[in-house]
Structure formats: C-alpha cells, structure tokens
Amino acid sequence: MAVLDPHHLQATTGAWRQLRGDRWALMGAALVAGFVLLAVLAPLLTALSHTDPYTYDIEALDAAGVPMGMFGGVSGAHWLGVEPQTGRDLFAILVYGARTSLLVGLGATAVSVVAGTVVGVVAGYTGGFADMLLSRFTDLMLAFPSLIFMIALGAIVPSSFPKALFIVLVIGAFGWPSVARVVRGLTLTLRTRDFVLAARAIGAPTSRILRAEIWPNLASSVTVLATMAVPGAITAEAALSFLGIGVTPPTPSWGRTIANAVSWIQVDPWYLLAPGAALFLLTLGFNMLGDGLRDAYDPRVSGSRG
C-alpha cells in the first residue's frame, strides 16, 4: 500500500514548467549538451580534420618551437592551430580534452553523490549512534585539506592504476561529505513528516519507506546537488592537471594545456584561447543549469532573471 505524497509530484511538474521558461537554465543546458556532443563525437570530428591529439608536427613550428603562421598556426590541417614545442593539433586536443573533463566531472560527481546520499540517508533516517558516527566521520573528511591529500595521493598511486579512474575516485572521495550533510539534514526533517510516520505506523518495511517515501522527496534536491557539484569536479580536475598531477600525459586535459599555455601567452596567445574558453564555458553551462534547477525546485527565490 502506497502512501501518496501529492506534494512532491506537484513540485516536480511545476519545476519543469518553470525550468522551460528559464532562459539562463536553457542556455546552460545547451552549453552542456554542446560539449557532451563534442566529447561523444570526438573520433568523428578528428577524422574529419585528419588529426589526433598525440602526433607531433614539428614542421608546423619554427626553430624556437613557436607555431608558424597566423593565429597560432591555424591552417587547413590545424583548425585551431598547434601546440608550441610539439606541433600537436589543438583542435584534437580540445575535443578529446572535453572527454576527459566530462568523464572526470560526471564520474566524480556520481561517486560523491551516491556515497553522500547513502551516508546522509542512513545517518539521517537511522539516527542515534550510527548518525553520530557517520556525522563525525563526515566532519573529519571535511576537515581534511583535500587538495593536499589529492596531490599526495596522486604521488603514491602506482602507475598501473588508471589515472583517470584515480582522479574520479579521489575527487569523489572528498566531494561526498558536503552532499551527505545536506541529505542528512533533509532526511531528518522528512523522517518526522506525516506521510513517513503514517507509513511506519502501518508497519511498512524500512527499505520500502526509504524507496517509496524518502527517496522521491529527496530526488529533486539530489539532482540539484549533483548538477551543482559537476562544475566543481571539472574545475578540480583542471586544477590537478594544472598542478601537474592530473591524468597522465599524453591524454589531453584542458587544465594541463592551460597551465602550459599561460607561459606562452605573450608569444602565442591563441594557444590559451580555446582550452581556456572551453573550460570556462563548460563550467558556466553547468552552473547556469544548476542554478535554474535550484530555482525551479525552490520557488521562493526564483524568477529573478526573467
């Protein structure tokens, strides 16, 4: 027997309507979709350009390693120019870099959101000793200077371990505590709501209450949390690559390209343009979408941006 909670169904449909009218959120969604498309179609796109992100093209460089020609070596062969010192194709690096960013961003978010939700729900719903233990553990994780540990762990992980997976796990591992906190708080309030109490009163099994009563009411918040966590994870990957401990070269990564490109800015500013803009736009896209989603589910502060 299901105890209906008409409230959350209403909220969801209302949110969709609101989201459809939110130009910012739609723009964000379009940006995200665009990059996803770029990442998915990367092999096809580079087949069209006859390039890959790995092959050196020293012929495209002068003796000092600077790309020859206008706009950082833009030509029929290299649509966005080439990398200084190696002559690798920047277009290929851009589209394959989108794969890295999205893969790590979404993967790490999935890890942190799943782990955070499980911990949060268990802590919030069970209460008592388990809650205290889990909450303290969450606090402990939040107290860790995470970037430092990511760097240190990056140095000790064996090379046989896939680096991309490692980055996903490590960003996820330091991302879940904040999710857990919010979810625990929400679960705590939900636990005392009438429809949950009613379900418990009639003896519904816990698993069923979690699935049928708690989760549907958490789902929207978790979606918002997830969307808002993605740009953080993408930025974190770029920052790690920027510090030289991201995915193993030569796997393309925007963060690494940006790190290299900044020092070339006065000689070859075009080198920085594409990866810098891409990272910014993808982060912006997720932020706008996440904002729109949050506004949609929380009508009190929405509608500001017409």
Q: Phi, psi at residue 66, to the nearest 5°?
A: -95, 135
CA atoms within a 13 Å half-sphere pointing along the CA-CB vector of 218: 30
What tokens does 135 get?
A: 């909450």
Q: Provide the terminal-to-terminal Cα distance of the chain, rounded to the nearest Å.
A: 42
From 238, 274, 289, 293, residue interacting with another protein (rule: CB under 8 A):
238
Interaction with another protein in 43-62: which residues (CB under 8 A)? 54-56, 58, 61
Contact 90/82 with Cβ under 8 angstroms? yes
Residues 208-237 that bind another protein (CB under 8 A): 231, 235
Q: Measured from the CB of residue 160, what is the shortest distance to another protein in angstroms? A: 9
264 three-class SS: coil
CA angle 110, 112, 114 (to 5 degrees): 65
- The residues that bridge with 82 in the sheet, in sequence order, are 89
Smallest distance from the beta carbon of 296 to another protein, in angstroms?
A: 14
Q: What is the DSSP letter of 66?
A: P
Q: Is 245 in the site for another protein (CB under 8 A)?
A: yes
Note whether 64 binds another protein by CB under 8 A. Answer: yes
Query: Token match 């900044």: residue?
Result: 262
Name the maximum alpha-carbon separation found in the chain.
80
Would you count residue 98 as binding another protein (CB under 8 A)? Answer: no
The answer to whether 84 contacts another protein (rule: CB under 8 A) is: yes
Segment contacting another protein by CB under 8 A, of 15-23, 148-156, 185-193, 218-226: 148-156
Using rule CB under 8 A, residue 30 touches another protein: no
CB of 243 to another protein, least distance (A): 6
Distance CA 74, CA 60 (A): 10
Span near another protein by CB under 8 A; candidates 11-19, 182-190, 195-203, 295-303: 295-303
Examine residue 244 and tell whether it contacts another protein (CB under 8 A): yes
Cα–Cα distance list, 304 to 19, 23, 154 (Å): 13, 11, 42
Nearer to another protein, 206 or 263 (CB): 263
* Shortest distance (Å) from residue 118 CB to another protein: 21
- Applying CB under 8 A, among 279, 289, 293, 296 the residue interacting with another protein is 279
DSSP 200: H
140 binds another protein (CB under 8 A): yes
Residue 76 engages another protein in binding (rule: CB under 8 A): no
The sign of the torsion formed by the CA atoms of 238, 295, 217, 16 equals negative
Residues forming contacts to another protein in the complex (CB under 8 A) are: 24, 54-56, 58, 61, 63-66, 84-86, 136, 139-140, 142-149, 151-153, 155-156, 159, 231, 235, 238-239, 242-245, 248-250, 258-260, 262-268, 276, 279-280, 283-284, 287-288, 291, 300-301, 303-306
